[in-house]
Structure 1
């Protein structure tokens, strides 16, 4: 059964001021709670299939947990008076096709995209390979072996080079994007994961998740330049082009560290109140917002980088991991380990949830083409071969 999640009391459109339209807020509140209840009550569908409509409704209400009964009844009362308020928000993504992926049916991780060469690079963690996919011809064109337990992948256009974090050997692997050959291996810290690039300094920042550090690599010489102690477990790192700083999730401390890439000094440790497992990160440099995905409580935090405070929170896909942004549509994707994906519309500093839906098994990683608006999700199907699911917005042409 495909389940569409609501967005709950904090999932309405939020501005920095925290105000939103009352009717829309009530609609999202009711919708979110109804669908949360639907998840718990899915088993009732068979039990009451043969009952009369009146008896079925009464029995369903009886079986719903007490905390949700009031909201369920309010929804029944509200629906006749406002069709607009009770409309189910349409899920804005459609599946274009599924492309079989090579290798064993094992876990996939990060994805990165080169729009110029139309190459999509996929980390096949379970197979120790990086798979290269041509997004025009819709076919796999290369498989790069010997990247042990590959997690993060990041393409750097100015170098025509791909960097991949090999967690099995605690190193970062540099790969030529034309020949698909490995050109360097650089030792880093314990359990390297996410990657971000600082173009002005020609530096690659590597999140050493279990090492409590960020390793800095000089991409011109492919050598380690610095190791920055941060403490705790390290989530994703992201470069902010406006400030010229690197922001890093400290996922066991509930903090967002700010680093000067020139001095390699930690400038600040910004607290993220009520953050639990702040792992995923994406930075909107234009509007000075950081989007932080918390995997322990399924929450997206919107953090103001100018005033250093949280301005909004939203419930998202269960166990959120990777974030991606379509700059053409101003859509933010939040992909979850659960197979669910959340979508948000961003206008300036206004963030509006578009919904959450189950997209496919282990759909925790995503990359987006901001020109075609296609998104790619590698799916690990434990009962069959892996596939690359390609989606597109229902409001645009394929």
Structure 2
């Protein structure tokens, strides 16, 4: 936890940011408004003021893992003690990270080497590396078959890796450049945003066969995804036309479309609050609620330059945003609680 004066200064700066003010309002959505968030803490981070990418939270242990892409490292943060625990170096151009608490494993995509790297989440030791396709990005974990899926954006494929041994089980071609991959526990399927085809590919993880393709009309370049498993809804960020679509997976149709900040990237869904957060490359954050089968805008604002990724604790409903350049020019993790 930083000194009171430093935190107070940052809270003041953040209050301006979440009020809807922006240095480039034209990059934001047409309905900007105050975010339903209150900043409660910050953590100074390592590695210099360079780009972050995906995050993954082990909520039970209170450990947050950050892909510090520009620094070629993964940062582990104790979100309860508000301090960095360790950094895991030599993960070139790291994009995706995913922690699996049950097995005490952490997986990261070393995009600069086209590799998946597995770490012991307790010690930080490298357990194995495995080859992927060109430009591995996001990750998903299949808990039934104990497999890690890497999205190889440029190759247009998914690499399926044995989570214990690192053996490559399969490579699944999607017929176009791919975005994020999500495991759907209700149907036991993997869902991939295929940005090169503007659809969602549904894959049987047992046979590695594409069993369905759900078109996403109005969504140009679908990339990020967040799943509401209970209501069978996928929220999809559309990179090329600054929007988010709501997809009814059971009906295989788009049921809603909303404007968001320019180049939407990472989405997370809070199942307890029925709320979805979307962070865009432009630094705009948008928040939506699911009510009575509809996706409703709650607020959007320019949070900070580089605020295109976030993590969520479903127990506390707190959100965490890694920011490349905080008030003192150094990287920082901002923690927020919902105001309503």
2-structure distance, mates of 1:269, 1:388: 37
Number of the residue aligned with 2:242: 298
Of the candidates 59, 64, 80, which is equivalent to residue 120 of structure 1? 64
What CA distance in whole angstroms lies between the structure 1 residues aligned with 2:227 and 2:106?
A: 21
Distance 1:201 1:143, change over 3 A: same
Equivalent residue, structure 2, for 1:224: 168
Return the match for 2:336 from 391, 394, 398.
Answer: 391
Match of 1:338 in 2: 282
How far apart in 2 are the matches of 1:120 and 1:201?
A: 25
Greater fraction strand: 2
Greater Rg over alpha carbons, structure: 1
Bigger fraction of residues in helix: 1
**Are 1:107 and 2:51 an aligned pair?**
yes
Pairwise CA distance, 1:146: 1.0
- Structure 2: 5+ residue runs without aligned partners? 1-15, 27-31
C-alpha distance in structure 2 between counterparts of 1:372 and 1:302, whole Å:
25
Distance 1:89 1:234, change over 3 A: closer
Quote the residue 2:223 is aligned against: 279
Match of 1:51 in 2: none
Residues matched between the structures, number: 319
Q: Output aligned runs, 1:55-204, within 5 Å.
A: 90-204=34-148
* In the alignment, structure 1 residue 355 sits paired with structure 2 residue 324: no
Cα contact 1:3–1:39 (8 A) shared by 2: no
For 1:231 and 1:101, the matched residues in 2 are separated by: 39
User: What CA distance in whole angstroms lies between the structure 1 residues aligned with 2:292 and 2:183?
Assistant: 19
Contact 1:252–1:276 (Cα < 8 Å) also in 2? no
Q: Deviations over 1:352-374 (max 9, x none)?
A: 11011111121100001111221
RMSD between aligned residues? 2.1
Checking the alignment, whether the CA contact within 8 Å between 1:379 and 1:387 is kept in structure 2 is: yes
Aligned-residue offset at 1:89: 5.8
SS in 2 for 1:314: strand
Question: Is the Cα contact below 8 Å between 2:95 and 2:137 reproduced in 1?
Answer: yes
Question: Are the counterparts in 1 of residues 132 and 159 from structure 2 also a CA contact under 8 Å?
Answer: yes
Provide the secondary structure at the position in 2 that maps to 1:200. Answer: coil
Q: TM-score, normalised by structure 1?
A: 0.77
Partner secondary structure for residue 211 of structure 1: coil
